[in-house]
Amino acid sequence: MKIVIDTTRNLFLRLFFFTLFVVILVGVIAYARGYRFNFREGTVSSTGILSVNSNPRPAKVYINGSLHGATDTNLTLPYGHYTVEIKKEGYSSWKKDVSLKGEIVMSLNALLFSKNPSLTPLTNIGISKAISVGNTDKIILLSTTGDSEKDGIYLFEPSSQPLTIFPPLRLLMLQSLLDPEIDMNTAEFEFDPNFRQAIVTFSYKIDESLVEDTEVPTVSYLVTLEGQNVELFDITNSKETILARWNVEKNKELLKIIETLPKKLQKTATESFYIVSLAPDEKKVMYVAKQDASLPIVLDPPLIGANQTKESRDIQRGKLYIYDKKEDKNFHIPLSKEIQIPTPTDTIPEPIPTTTIEPVQSPTPTPPQILNEELVHSIQQTVLWYPTSDYIAVKEDKQIIVMQYDGENKEVVYAGPFNSEYFGISPDWNLMVVINLNPQNNPYGDLYSVGIR
């Protein structure tokens, strides 16, 4: 009898400890997955985690108006809708409405900008014109101050490093190489696909009061961007041939971008996108819709923790959009000025005659043309990717705005004086503009860094 009692007792103890272990294990797993016991209501509810980060940090974190610590931090909250605000003295505030789900970790990364930007000169040569080199951070600078030893065309390559081996400003060609009758300020640049060469076209000086309705004569030269041009190569007669070859290569590069999109989207993109640029991290595509279309849904259901900003799957001709390849999200970017795009000129091929006796070989299919150089250039003068890839900078009238790629947290970061024909972003996340701070005594401006970080 004693043996039975001892056996029963041991079995009961083992069962008790096993049950206790299972209960604790389930509790630990549930806690790790975000479930919490509400002692007031006596219920168990799921929670989510908000990972709130900012640059710069630390910054105060407000949830529904209440302070919840400082960045960077992880906040465990019951599922539901929240308004998250991030504030730091001297910087712009950041705000986002989110819907937090149980067992989900949602990351919020706020970029805060200084309310008092600083100006730092980058050049002192006297600039009459600045031109962006495609979607790179390089800049073509024209100097026509009247100094024959310095006037010419320069290439500026900004660096995020305080000390660099090579100087950021390099002479490409002196104005003294040009015919004195050429107006250097009329220079127009067209770049090769690798941004190593350019065709620069100049107009000759004419007396407009004496000559009316006369086409202004021009001359074009092929120049290298990798060193100083000590002699010029006149390619005026072959310019169109060279540009046609370059455009074929550029079109191929854009088609490669299309191929990186989800397969369900590639046909629509080929027919309806004018690709403007890739984000620096190559995960987002900026484009202009060349016709109305609807983007098919690729990810259904959406990725867990994906951007919750309302997207625009129905695109409209002439509107600017950003497509997130990773999250399958498409956002409209409103601009103050309407985008003008050409009317499509695609033609239907003539039918093959059916009376021919010889078999007709099908011609090699022509790659679809998705390049619009003029349109891309005009957009890149107005909208630029910020180096983080989560933000874009937009030039509107006499101010520069930075916003998230989904159009939220729009913030004016600079409204001071600058030449509206050019603005850029340096690798150190600051703006670059041409400013003349003393126009009464100096007819020329120079390149400045606007410290917005």
From 111, 71, 61, 116, select the one nearest 90 (Cα to Cα): 116
pLDDT at 39: 47
User: In this predicted model, what pLDDT tens digit does every residue of 248-266 receive, in sequence order?
Assistant: 999 999 999 999 999 999 9
Residue 219 has pLDDT above 60, yes or no: yes
The answer to whether position 196 is within a domain reads: no
Region 393-402: mean pLDDT is: 92
User: In this predicted model, what pLDDT tens digit does every residue of 38-54 receive, in sequence order?
Assistant: 445 554 457 788 999 99
pLDDT at 355: 42
The CATH number of the domain where 50 resides is what?
2.60.40
From 169, 158, 97, select the one nearest 387 (Cα to Cα): 158
Q: How far apart are CA 449 and CA 400, in angstroms?
A: 13
The answer to whether position 95 is within a domain reads: yes
Q: Residue 262 burial by CB count (10 A; 0-12/13-18/19+): exposed, middle or buried?
A: middle
Question: Structurally, how many domains does the chain consist of?
Answer: 1
Q: How far apart are CA 371 and CA 247, in angstroms?
A: 8
Q: How far apart are CA 315 and CA 294, in angstroms?
A: 6
The answer to whether position 269 is within a domain reads: no
Q: How far apart are CA 409 and CA 103, in angstroms?
A: 27
Residue 85 has pLDDT above 50, yes or no: yes
Q: Lowest mean pLDDT: which of 196-210, 305-319, 354-368, 408-422?
A: 354-368
The answer to whether position 51 is within a domain reads: yes
**Are 296 and 328 contacting, i.e. CB atoms less than 8 angstroms apart?**
no
Residue 27 has pLDDT above 60, yes or no: no
Q: What is the pTM of this model?
A: 0.83
The answer to whether position 42 is within a domain reads: yes
Q: 239-259 and 263-272 helices cross at what angle (nearest 10)?
A: 150
The string of DSSP letters for 309-349 reads S----EE-TT-EEEEETTTTEEEEE--SSPPP-PPP---PP
Give Cα separations from 429 to 122, 181, 314 (angstroms).
15, 41, 33
Q: Which domain holds residue 90?
A: 33-111
The answer to whether position 38 is within a domain reads: yes
The answer to whether position 180 is within a domain reads: no
Residue 184 has pLDDT above 80, yes or no: yes
Count of CB atoms situated within 10 Å of the CB of 64:
12
The answer to whether position 132 is within a domain reads: no
